[in-house]
Amino acid sequence: MSQSLINQGYQRTLQKLIFGKHLNAAQTLFGGQLLSWIDEASAMFAIEYMGTRRVLTKKISEVIFVNPGLSGDLIQFWCKAVRDGKTSMTLELIIETMNVESKQQREICTCQIVYVAVDELGKPTRWKN
């Protein structure tokens, strides 16, 4: 799956190991933890892509969980820019896990995130597109 994502223009922006502290009562990855990592991974991509550290998350699209993350899995965050605006950009994310022992990969979810470049006062500003 990973090579296919690279061929589609995605970049891996973050990789984490899922530990017990990241699990919910059902012993799968806690959704709130995943959302935090999604925001972190996509912000790193947006900062580099937009050429400014001053970016704010404007919108996260619907996130539908299709497979669970399990303790011991590597979780990988893949990003691709899909739309550039004057002050904003839209990213598409694919999040997948990999069982380290079996090398089996599973997609956990996909979503889109909009980031806005802001000035020192927090007002939207043009970025270097």
Q: How far apart are CA 73 and CA 92, in angstroms?
A: 22
Q: Inform me whether the pLDDT recorded for 114 exceeds 80.
A: yes
Closest CA to 49 of 16, 15, 80: 80
Provide the pLDDT for residue 123. 96
User: 60: domain range?
Assistant: 2-117
Element (H, E) at 95: strand 88-98
User: How many folded domains does the chain comprise?
Assistant: 1
- Domain assignment present for residue 90? The answer is yes
Task: Give, in order, the Cα–Cα distances in Å from 11 to each of 26, 56, 78.
Answer: 31, 20, 5
Residue 12, both tokens: 């891996």
In the structure, what pLDDT confidence band is assigned to residue 1 with cuts at 50, 70 and 90?
A: low
**83: Cα within 13 Å, side-chain hemisphere:** 10
Contact by Cβ (8 Å): 105, 127: no
Give pLDDT tens digits for 58-73.
Answer: 999 999 999 999 999 9
- Domain assignment present for residue 127? The answer is no
- Domain assignment present for residue 123? The answer is no
Mean pLDDT of all residues in the chain?
A: 94
**Domain harbouring 53, CATH code:** 3.10.129.10
Q: Inform me whether the pLDDT recorded for 3 exceeds 90.
A: no
Give pLDDT tens digits for 7-39.
Answer: 899 999 999 999 999 999 999 999 999 999 999
Closest CA to 87 of 46, 60, 117: 117
